[in-house]
Copies of this chain bind each other. A is one copy, B any other.
Amino acid sequence: MTRIPGLTTFLASSVRRLTRATSVCSQRKLLVTRDLGPDTMSLLYAREDLEVVTWPEDRDCERSWLLDNVPGAAGAIVMVTEKIDEEVLERAGPNLKVISTTSVGFEHVDLQGLYRRKIRLGYTPDVLNNAVADVAVMLALMAGRLADQGVTLVKEGKWPAHNFGPFHFVGPQLSPVPSISTTRTVGFLGFGRIAQATLARLAAFGVTHCIYSTNPSSPHDRERDAALAEQLKLRAVARVDLDTLARDSDVLILLAPGGAATRHVIDEAFLRKMGSRAVLVNVARGTLVDSDALAKALREGWIWGAAVDVVEGEPQVGADHPLVREPRCVVVPHIGSATFETRLGMVRTAATNALAGLDEVDMPAELDVAARLARLTPRV
């Protein structure tokens, strides 16, 4: 007998779908815009009361498929790549109770539209904090230590002719050197949980001072800062204005939310205030940085180097993008949360959020949409 690879699986899956289709009248529809892996999909399939409709391909879900399949859905598990806007919500109709996004960000979701329709929003904060903090430290080191130039030099076969000299191919050091440099200051734009997780790592490198700037309307938690300084054995944790942040950071790590309020906060004026051996890391949102200004700052040596996991306009960032062309800029394709463990944690949270939304119980991680909208109301 000729065996056709995958045929059994295909048939079994067809039978399962057929079976589900016949019982559709008693089932609520859960739309899933990406295969979440066997462990997590089995959580969803185990629910007899749900018709699980999943985008079948191993690539970003097409908008047309989403629009065709969302009508009548009671819930949807989506990725950061799907825009959940008025059109999608309108098409979905009145059954829709919950959107569960497999991301910590929710810029792709129309919060006003959700609020008006009383649709709940699940997201995946915290589970990715460690993964992003790891990448923040990696990028800070890569930018300072000329990692990409080193890799490129070797790949181009230039190591044999590369001379050793005490000050050849050197960069600024993240950790202090006794008797040479005794203080190292890390700055944060935004000082939430990922920033604090990053700070905990950097403290172990011997960083001595932490400064941060955050939303001016948020309360200044001096007790928290003092506790952090004591716990991490830092000489100071201090909230500062943007001028001080630019001037005093040896390493500046961006971990602020995106959106109109923070767009291009890192602009030419800010970058001109930074030190010539300072390093800039963006692991938050591309919109925080004026890419042209940063490329200019690197080209003209206002700062030492930069490393970014996010770029404004991504993923439409080609080989000719000014930051990609800049040797002193490391650009990686938004890999902050890209680990087996974190992504497994994210899809599990997204699935349990969605099920909790459908069951009208507490979600593991629900965004308070009303409170968020109140915070987003422009201040005069």
A→B interface (CB under 8 Å): 34-37, 58-60, 79-81, 102, 127, 130-131, 133-135, 137-138, 141-142, 144-148, 150-151, 153-157, 159-160, 162-181, 200-201, 203-206, 277, 314-320, 324, 330-335, 338-347
Contact B166 A347 (CB under 8 A): yes
**Contacting residues, chain B, for A315 (C-beta < 8 A):** 159-160, 162
Which of the listed residues A176, A177, A315, A346 has the most CB atoms from chain B within 10 Å of its own CB? A177
Select one of B35, B131, B167, B174 contacting A173, CB under 8 A: B131
Closest CB in chain B relative to A57 CB, distance in Å: 9
In the assembled complex, the Cα of A80 lies from the Cα of B165 at a distance in Å of 10
Contact A335 B204 (CB under 8 A): no
**A173 with B342: in contact, given A164-B80, A165-B59, A333-B154 (CB under 8 Å)?**
yes
Contact B102 A166 (CB under 8 A): yes
**Contacting residues, chain B, for A142 (C-beta < 8 A):** 138, 142, 147
**A170 with B59: in contact, given A201-B204, A317-B160, A331-B151 (CB under 8 Å)?**
no
Contact B167 A343 (CB under 8 A): yes
A-B contact pairs, 15 of them (CB 8 A): A58-B163, A79-B166, A81-B164, A127-B178, A135-B141, A138-B142, A145-B335, A145-B338, A157-B320, A159-B318, A169-B338, A171-B338, A173-B339, A173-B341, A180-B342
Q: Is the interface of A mostly helix, strand, loop or mixed?
A: loop
Select one of B165, B176, B342 contacting A58, CB under 8 A: B165
In the assembled complex, the Cα of A172 lies from the Cα of B141 at a distance in Å of 19
Select one of B168, B174, B203, B332 contacting A204, CB under 8 A: B203
Select one of B134, B153, B172, B331 contacting A205, CB under 8 A: B134
**Contacting residues, chain B, for A277 (C-beta < 8 A):** 340
Contact A333 B159 (CB under 8 A): yes
Contact B314 A172 (CB under 8 A): no
Select one of B80, B134, B162 contacting A333, CB under 8 A: B162
Beyond known contacts A150-B333, A157-B318, A171-B339: 13 more, CB 8 A cutoff: A133-B175, A138-B142, A146-B335, A147-B332, A151-B151, A156-B319, A159-B314, A164-B334, A170-B338, A172-B341, A173-B341, A176-B341, A203-B204
Contact A339 B163 (CB under 8 A): no
